[in-house]
Amino acid sequence: MKRFLVIVVLPALLFAGCREQTTPSDASESESSSGTQFSSESERIIRETNNVSYSGTVRPLGISIYMEGTHKLSLPDGRFILLESETADLNGYVGESVVVVGAIRPTIESDAMIMRVDSVSLQGTESKSAEEEVGTANPTPPQGAVVSSSQKETLPSSPAANQISSSASTSAKASARSPSPAFLERQKDMAKEEFSAENWTQEYCSSHIGFCVPVHRNWWFTSFGATSTHYWHLEMNSAPFELLHEGPVEVNLDGESLQALGVADGTIREGGEEVIGFRSWTNGRHFEVRAHTSLKPAVEYITQNLHPAG
């Protein structure tokens, strides 16, 4: 009598084996998905400029093409910035003229600017000054010395220049409408300089915006950061200074693109007694270098040699 050996393979064991084989694959996919998400979140990080203030009127955002912000601040010159806040009730200030203080950054999907509001106060009440990152540089060698352009460096900020009151800035703006004799004298002194490349031995760089501007070796400069009228404002002078509009040469970062303005990159324009140099910048913004026509060579050099930091 013959005996047969019957081998029975249980389905449950097969299914268990399938599950064990798929587990590492699932974990790998999960790790890959998590890594992709982390990378995507990292790419969305945008550098902010802190302790900036703007004055204007709070408006509801309403129907908007922007994907960020809950309100907007209408500025006196017709522009606006978007607002958002986790600490201030912006609804309570709609229609009011206010001063907002916070951190500003470009929006992700357009050329607008948005502020993460830390505090808000009605205009006329005590509020924090808007100016920040003010740095006054001392000219390096005395006039007439020859310095190699390779000695350019970003000079440190002056602690004494960091204290600027709102009232002082306001009075400086008012006096800027009619230049003082002292201002005109400094302007003349600056126009007498030699503007060949070897004389531009200083450089101002902003880590927030990511740009560098050449500065003449005999000039002082002060950066006022973001102001109520410009995304960034820098001035140059033949003497030390701390107040807005004391420098005969100004470098401003503004919100419109040169394409929208119908201006070619690098254009130098003269109008009346003023000369303006235009440089295109990121996120639909542009730089304007402004001075008296007597300083046209300086405006041309700064405009041509303004460059990204790093």
What pLDDT, in 10s, does the model give residues 64-119? 676 788 899 998 888 889 999 988 888 888 888 899 999 988 887 666 788 999 99
Could you list the beta-strand ranges (E) of the chain.
Answer: 49-60, 71-74, 80-84, 97-106, 113-122, 202-206, 211-215, 220-225, 232-237, 249-254, 268-271, 274-280, 286-292, 307-308
Q: Which domains does the chain have, with CATH numbers?
A: 49-122 (2.40.50), 149-308 (3.40.1000)
What pLDDT, in 10s, does the model give residues 248-305? 999 999 988 999 999 999 999 999 999 999 999 998 899 999 999 999 999 999 999 9
Predicted confidence band of residue 146 (pLDDT cuts 50, 70, 90): very low
Q: Using alpha carbons only, what angle is made at residue 166 by residues 54 and 208, rounded to the nearest 5 degrees?
A: 50
Q: Specify whether the CB–CB gap between 59 and 73 falls below 8 A.
A: yes
Whole-model pTM over 0.75? no
The residue to which tokens 């460059």 are assigned: 307
